Amino acid sequence: MSAAGFPHNLSFDEFATKLFEELEMELPIVTPNTPLGQYGFDSILMYEVLLIVEDWGIDVDVMELEKWSTLGEIYTSVTQSIRSS
């Protein structure tokens, strides 16, 4: 797995900024534990997140979508995928 578009040392805040930029959404105040629904994430937007992560060169199992309920969980999943590569 190559994560060419995703720096390995990206902090949570930098990750959130990059993700919201890719989604073309205004960056709210984000915390790792805030439920995704509070940011307006629905199933369609979650699929878009998966596509963005894949565009960054990171392979994430589609089944992970069902496990993600916070932005922190997405960040953890992405960073763990990078470390296991």
Q: Is the pLDDT of residue 49 over 70?
A: yes
**E strand intervals along 1-85:** none
* Domain range summary for the chain, segments of one domain joined by +: 12-83
Interval 3-46: pLDDT, tens: 556 666 789 999 999 999 999 999 999 999 999 999 999 989 99
* CB count in 10 Å sphere of residue 49: 21
Question: Which pTM value belongs to this model?
Answer: 0.84
Q: What pLDDT sits at residue 14?
A: 92
Q: What pLDDT sits at residue 7?
A: 65
Dihedral sign computed on CA atoms, order 11, 13, 16, 18: negative
Dihedral sign computed on CA atoms, order 77, 9, 19, 3: negative
> Which CATH code, of 3.40.50.1370, 2.160.10.10, 1.10.1200.10, 1.10.3720.10, is assigned to 12-83?
1.10.1200.10
CA 40 to chain CA mean position, Å? 14
Q: Is the pLDDT of residue 58 over 70?
A: yes
- SS3 (DSSP) at 64: helix
